[in-house]
Structures are given as C-alpha cells and as structure tokens.
Chains A and B, each alone.
Chain A
Amino acid sequence: MNNKESQKVLERRDFFKKTAALSVTAIAGTSLVSSNARADDPAIINNVPWGQKWGDPVTKNRYGMPSKYEHNVLRRNTKLLASGNFRASIAVAPIQESMGIITPNGLFFSRCHGGVAQIDPNEYRLMIHGLVEKPIVLTLEQLKRYPSVTRTHFIECPANGGQEWRGPQFNSVQFAKGFMSSAEWTGVYIKTILEDLGLKPEAQWMLAEGSDNSEMGRTVPVDKVLDDAMIVWGQNGEALRPEQGYPVRLLLPGWEGNLCVKWLKRLEFATEPWYCKEETSKYTDLKPTGKAIQHFYANEVNSTVTSPSPEIDWTHLKDGDIVEIEGLAWSGMGTITGVDLSFDGGRNYVKANLKGLVLPKSWTRWSYIHTYKKGEVLQLTSRAMDDAGYIQPTIDQEVSVMGVEAVYHRNAVETWEVNAKGEVNHVQIRS
C-alpha cells in the first residue's frame, strides 16, 4: 500500500492484527482466548449507524454504483503514458483489487489512439466487403440478430510490462501488469456471418477499421477470422462500455488488445496485408538483429502474483500467520495448464494450485498457502504454462533472443521481493 495513508488506517489494521492473531492461536488450540484481556470492539458493542436508520430506497440508484468506500479502486494513468492530452493514452486496471477472473466494466483498462469515441447506436453501421461474394451493411439491430455466443476472454495490451525490458520501473502491480482486463463477451463469430457472405478463395487478410477519430485499423489473417474471431456488443452482461468500443468491437481471443479494434466500422478482405500505423510504426518488436517482428499476434503465456504485491503488502502479518499467496495466469495461445511458484526469485520452484474455472485464453486464478515467518525475505516469482506447450521464460532467456528494445510482448517471469518488514517491492532477477 502506498505508504501509511493515515493514523486511522493503522489503528484499524492494529485491530485486525489482533483478531487475526487471535483466530490463528485459536486454531492452534492454545487458550489465549480466555487469558487475553482485550478491549471490546465498539463495532460490535454499539449500535452501528446503518443498523438503526433507514437505508436508501430501492429507487435511489437506477444504475448501481460501488460503495462510496471503494473510491480508491480506480483505473490509473501515468504522465509517461499520456500522449495527446490523454487521447492517445492508457488507463490501467487495478488488478491488485481484482477478484476471480472478471473485471468489472467500470475498471476495465482503457486504451485509445484518438480519444474514447461516443457513438450514437442509431447511427452505427458495420460494413463487410472486399473479397466476399456478397458484401453487407448492417445496423446494430441487424447485427445483433445473428445467433450469439458468449465467451470469457482477457484482453491485454501487448505493452503490458513493456516499460521494464531494461529493468524494473513500476513499483506497482497495477502499472506493471494492469494493461489488461477480462470479461465475458457476447457477440457473433465472424465465420457465422461469412457462411452466407461467402469468402473468396484468394482472400488472405482482413482489415478491421474503427470509426473513431484515429480510424484505428489492423490487418488480421483469415486463419483467425475462420477460427474464433468475434464481433462483440456485450461485456459482462450489458452493452460494451464506450471505453471498450461501444457499441461494437472486434474480439480476437488471446491476441493483442490493439488488434481487437474498437468502435468497429469496417471489415475488408484482400489478398495483401495493409500496413496500418499500429502494425508498422508501433506494435512491432525490434530484435538485436535489427529486424523487427511484425504481426506478432498472440499474447504469450504469462502470470503474476497479485497478493502480496507492492500495493498489498505483508506489514500487518505476524509470525506464524497463514496467508494465501494469490495470482493470475493467462495465455493468448491456449489454456493454462499449471503455475509454479518460487520463493527465491525463480531459482527453485514448487507447484502452485489452480483455482476456479480454467478457460481457454482466459485469466486463470492460482494460489499457494504459506505460513509467514516474521522477518523472512522472499522473492516471489510465478511461472505459468499453457496447453500449447509454452512456459514463461526467465528474463535472461527472453532477453537473449529479444534484446531489450522490443517494447511489446514481454512475458518473462516477474518477481516481488518481500523484505524483512513485510514491504513488497518490484525487482528483477537477471544477468
């Protein structure tokens, strides 16, 4: 946590420490419970204000909002990534506060190249043309009449972690790994629409273009279009948020967030690729050979510890406390098959445990139960694997091929160092 906000918080923490210590010893069977003369908790002894007066009427929030007390759970920016007056910029998701494998829509990371467009759905049109037998224009209502599918997938900006090729920069999991979020998306497979439009045999590439101010476009190979590419309008059970491309975006499960073109207006098929700005000037990975990888589609297997993290430290833990080390694993190339955890910066690993639903190209939760020794110094490093066979590289392994100038697609293992006080800092273990 960002250092010691207020005395009040410390006092509250003290209180929780006491209760935590109490429950641990109770489990251990000692009789501290009776011998320890403690003050009664006023939160139990006194009537609480909300228990004695009317709550809000159900008519108050026609669209519900989080508790006022959650006001620090926010997307955040940094000036470093603030091009164009925050119109060619990114706001990152507070993944340290994230639960399960879904990001609430209001916290979903937001990246744009010409500002967040506000589209009138009545004026929305989607055009599909080029090398198809029958081109088509669809209104939003017509698009949504296609039979829908619903899928849970993360979307990740390939620059997630990209500021840290040459060394750790962000003492924060929100900034070091929060260029991504996850949602349950509803839309139609493009292959379903193409069944009738009829793709011509010579079509190899599809241009996807947004209708925003930057007219953001990307070239997609037809392989993906005919596999799991979707045109989506639903996000976690409601319409897409403007920040995610309302009313319609492209979703290429597992692939660079930038390829999942928002505010989608046009799909064109052709024999040759397009060379858009975001697949030449940017989103290309320069290697030490002087050649850059272009069309680097999939976000590779990756993982991070989310708790503890620089934001969620262990300063409040007592010797012997049992604590859950928790994290996320994800792969744009397939399904997570396992996660290993290291306490010494990736020198030695034990197997961690997957939790909950394990879905293709989706965030996957994992955890490991640890008994904390006061004063111990740990270097927590997680390492994920997927069913395509990929396992996260060490920093040295990745850098030996990619150098340190690639910007995008950095998926080497990441390390949080827990110091003797229980504070957590971002470090890297590398030559």
Chain B
Amino acid sequence: MFKLDRKLIITASAAAAVALFTLGCNGGETGTTASTKVNGKATIDGGVTYPVVNGKTGPYYVNPQVAQVAPKLYNGRVPTANELKAWDKDIMPDGTGLPEGSGSVEDGEEVYDAKCVMCHGDFGSGGGGYPALSKGNAYDLQKTLTNNRWKDPDADGPTRVFGSYWPQVSTLFWYIKDGMPHPFSKSLTDDEVYALVAYVLNINEMEIDGEEVDDEYVLDREKFLKIKMPNRDGFEPNIAGPGALDRVRAYYADAKNFGGQNLHQGAERCMTNCQKETAKTKRINGGITNFLPPMSDVRDLPAVKEVKVDPVAVYKSTCAMCHDSYLAPGSAEWSGYLAEGMDTVYAKGIKGTEGGMPAKGGTDLSDANFKTVVDYITSGKVK
C-alpha cells in the first residue's frame, strides 16, 4: 500500500493514479461512480471515494493540466531551524517534544490557585460550563466507564475526566502548555506546567511507577515518561504502532463496530413494520429551552435604538446634490417655506413634495433624525 501511495505522490501521473483505484459501481439512484476501495484496500472511514474517471471526480470536472504541473509547484520556501523550533511544539506519548524541567505538587497547587481555580473550581471539581479536572480516584472511576444509562435512565453514568478516561498523559502537558489558562494561553513556563501536571495527577489520586503522587511529589521528565494512564487500553480501533491504518480500515469496514446499518452488509431497507414491538413514543421531559435569542420566525421590523446622525454629513452625502443649487443650508430662499411654520416644513420634507423633494430626501432616516437635518438645512446651523 505504501509503495503505491508514494508512487501516487512522488512519481505517478494522474492517469496512472486512476488506474490504481479499484472501481466499484455503487451508483444507486444518483448514478455516481463511487469506490469502497483504494489500491485494493478498504477506505479508511468505511465510506466511498470518487476516483477521477473520464476527467471527473464524482460530478466535478478536474483540470488535467494540474497533475502535470503539480510536481513542479513549490510556491513557498523552506522553514528555518528556528521557525521549526518555534512552531513544532507538539508533545507525543513517546516523549517527542517533551521539554526538560520539573515541578512539585505543592508548586502546582499554588499556580492552580492563582491561574486555574476561578474556572476549574476547588481541586479541579469543575462546574458552570467548565470541565472538571478530577472527580476522585482515577483507578476507581475508570471502572465507571462501563456504566451506561441505556436500560435505566436513573443509573449512574460513566465519569469521564482526565484521570479516568484520557489514554495519554502527554495530552495534558501539551494542552496546558498550548491552550491554558484559557484567556491567556502559552504563558506558562515548562516548570509551571510540570507542577500543574503533578497537581492534576495528585487530585486524581494517581501513582507513577508504583509510587503515589502525594503532596510532596516532584515530577520531572523522566518520571513523566513512566506515567501509565488507567484507561490507556480503553479505545478502539488501536491506532498505535505499525499496521495502525490497516486496523482502522478493518474497523470501519464493519458497520457493526460503530452502530451502523449497511445494505451491503446484510442490513435491510425495511418498508413495513420497521419498529420493534416494544418501541413507544418518548416525549420531551423538561428539555432544553433557554435559547439565545428566543426562537421566533416573525418577520417585522427589529426594535433598534437609532443612533443620532451627523446632519452635516447627511446633507453632504444626500441632500447637497439638489440643495447646493437651490435651498442651500441657511439660504434666504427658505423664508417662503419657513413662513408656513416648522411643523409643515418637517411634514412636507418627510412626505416629499410634488415640486421635486423626494420623501425624506431619499433617505430611510427616522423622523427624529431627518428633522435634525431639516433644522440644519433651513438654518445653516447644527443645533
């Protein structure tokens, strides 16, 4: 598989790449050319892919020139060693990327109380939309992962927190270093992160190499690499080590693994009597209703507080084109109009006149705002 893939990337032309796909025709009612196999292997996600056939992938045309020029396209530059160091800071389970350093539970508690407790609560208890960092003894709580409220809704559910659930501790170091504290991330030193990790292990009542992470414990890189998470084998498919991608492909090739129903794997398109005898109508009990903003499909004008406009600016942008030549701001020509009284002038301006004044001068200003422009145009002054 990998030799073939590399060919695809390094040497093969697009035409050769097409030949590598195994075509299966599952077109169904919509008649697309889909394949559940790539290079003779199952797809990675259990779905189909659309190899380029007759110049198209599925319904989309593909410009064939692109494949020819792609091996020559290098639009950027090589990163410098310092640039790589600045950005390549991920931490992997085998210790790749894990810096040297150390920190004690005691120091960790201090940093936690200064920078984390306001969100994550005392001893990582969480709450108010903030995740808990501990719910007690990690080893005991790991056993709750088989709790499932599917038969008894009132039963205890599983407890998924760092200690009981996470497969790798590298995630904790990496995430705290990169993402916490939430409002000001990437601000902790490596020693502070070691201390915080030690503290989080402590409140999860964990041990390292048979030794309890007690209040006196000091964590360093060497000890960190010995941490074994209680739930490290709790995930499927197994993605670690050689052959991982084959295991993932095999997992998703079988709908039973993930609760799917596949018509090519024995499922049925049932048209009559498709529910179990025991199935009943379950209605919302309480439910979640605090929608922001409240649900509505009304189409009316929104209630908005209008902001005051600058009369001179409005005049310049919309009135001036007519009024600069006639009835300019403060001009004597206004006297005839003003004689009718200001209310009439406002009213006529709002409604428009047959003599050529468009309603509100063609603006959608509120009456109040428009009146301030009329005040300006008739007097030449801003009130």
Q: Is the beta-carbon distance between B236 and A388 smaller than 8 angstroms?
A: no
Question: In the complex, which residue of chain A has the Cβ closest to the Cβ of B244?
Answer: A204
Say if the beta carbon of B280 comes within 8 Å of chain A: yes
22 pairs of residues in contact across A and B, judged by CB atoms under 8 Å: A53-B359, A69-B300, A69-B301, A78-B292, A137-B79, A147-B69, A195-B73, A200-B6, A201-B2, A213-B185, A214-B185, A224-B44, A270-B92, A273-B240, A298-B47, A340-B271, A345-B275, A347-B273, A348-B274, A390-B46, A405-B147, A417-B281
Q: Interface residues of B: mostly helix, strand, loop or mixed?
A: loop
Interface flags for A183-219 (1: CB within 8 Å of B; 0: not) read 0000000011111111111101001010001110100
CA distance A147 to B240 in the complex (A): 35
**Out of B44, B72, B244, B275, which one reaches A273, CB within 8 Å?**
B244
Write the nearest CB–CB distance from B161 to chain A, whole angstroms: 8
Interface residues on B, range: 35 or more
What is the bound-complex CA distance between A74 and B28, given in angstroms? Answer: 36
The reply to whether A78 and B291 form a contact with Cβ atoms under 8 Å apart is yes
Q: A341 vs B182: C-alpha distance in the bound complex, in angstroms?
A: 45
A349 to B275, CA, bound (A): 11
Most chain B Cβ neighbours within 10 Å, of A139, A143, A334: A334
Which of A127, A139, A223, A395 has a CB less than 8 Å from the CB of B245? A223
- Identify 11 new A-B residue pairs, CB closer than 8 A, beyond the known A192-B73, A402-B258: A1-B298, A53-B358, A136-B75, A175-B288, A201-B6, A273-B244, A290-B158, A312-B297, A348-B272, A391-B262, A402-B259
Residue of B nearest to A8 (CB): B300
**B contact residues around A242 at 8 Å (CB):** none
Contact B235 A293 (CB under 8 A): yes
| Minimum Cβ distance to chain A for residue B252 (Å) | 8
Interface pair A83/B129, CB less than 8 Å apart: yes
Contact partners of A83 in chain B: CB under 8 A: 129-131
Q: How far is the CB of B25 from chain A (nearest CB, A)?
A: 9
Segment from A27-35, A103-111, A165-173 that makes contact with B? A165-173
In Å, the complex CA distance between A27 and B324 comes to: 58
Q: Is the pair A294, B78 in contact by a Cβ cutoff of 8 Å?
A: no
Could you tell me the distance in whole angstroms from the C-beta of B121 to the nearest C-beta in chain A? 13
Query: Interface-forming stretch among B80-88, B108-116, B194-202, B332-340?
Result: B80-88
Whether A18 is near chain B, meaning CB under 8 Å from some CB there, is no
The answer to whether the Cβ of B99 comes within 8 Å of any Cβ in the partner chain is: no
Residue A102 interfacial (CB < 8 Å) = no
Considering the chains assembled together, what is the distance between the CA atoms of A217 and B91 in angstroms?
12
Cβ of A359 within 8 Å of any chain B Cβ, yes or no, is: yes
CA distance A389 to B263 in the complex (A): 5
**CB pair B77 A136 closer than 8 Å:** yes
Q: Which residue of A lies closest to B263 (CB)?
A: A389
Do A169 and B287 form a contact, CB below 8 Å, given A388-B262, A389-B262?
Answer: yes
Question: How many Å from the CB of B186 to the closest CB on chain A?
Answer: 8
Determine if B234 and A292 form an interchain contact, defined as CB atoms under 8 angstroms apart.
yes
> Does A291 contact B236, Cβ atoms closer than 8 Å?
yes
The interface of chain B, by Cβ under 8 A from chain A, is 2-3, 5-6, 8-10, 26-30, 32, 34, 36, 38, 43-50, 57-60, 62-63, 65-67, 69-79, 83-84, 87-88, 90, 92-94, 119, 129-131, 145-150, 153, 157-158, 160, 162, 165-168, 170-171, 174-175, 178-179, 182-183, 185-186, 234-237, 239-241, 244-245, 248-249, 252, 255-265, 267, 269-276, 278-285, 287-302, 318, 352, 358-360, 362, 364
- Let me know if A21 is at the binding interface, CB within 8 A: no
A145 B269 Cβ-Cβ under 8 A: no
**Across the interface, do B79 and A391 meet the contact criterion of CB distance under 8 Å?**
no
Which residue in B10, B45, B165, B296 is a CB contact (below 8 Å) of A281?
B165
Q: Contact check, B279 vs A429: say whether CB atoms are below 8 A apart.
A: yes
- Determine which of A8, A254, A296, A385 lies in contact with B258 in the assembled complex, contact meaning CB atoms within 8 Å: A296
Interface pair B292/A223, CB less than 8 Å apart? no
Q: A304 within 8 Å of B by Cβ? A: no
A347 touches B63 (CB 8 A): no
Residues of A contacting B263 with CB < 8 Å?
Answer: 385, 389-391
Contact of A294 with B235 at beta-carbon distance under 8 Å, contacts A388-B47, A390-B260 already known = yes
A396 with B296, Cβ < 8 A, contacts A53-B359, A114-B185 known: no
Taking a contact as CB atoms closer than 8 A, the residue among A151, A201, A425 that contacts B3 in the complex is A201
Cβ 8 A contact of B287, one of A127, A171, A193? A171
Contact A84 B77, beta carbon cutoff 8 Å:
no
Q: How far is the CA of A206 from the CA of B60 in the complex (A)?
A: 26
Q: B185 near A139 (CB under 8 angstroms)? A: no
Please give, as numbers and ranges, the residues of chain A lying within 8 Å of B298 by CB-CB distance: 1, 5-6, 9, 72
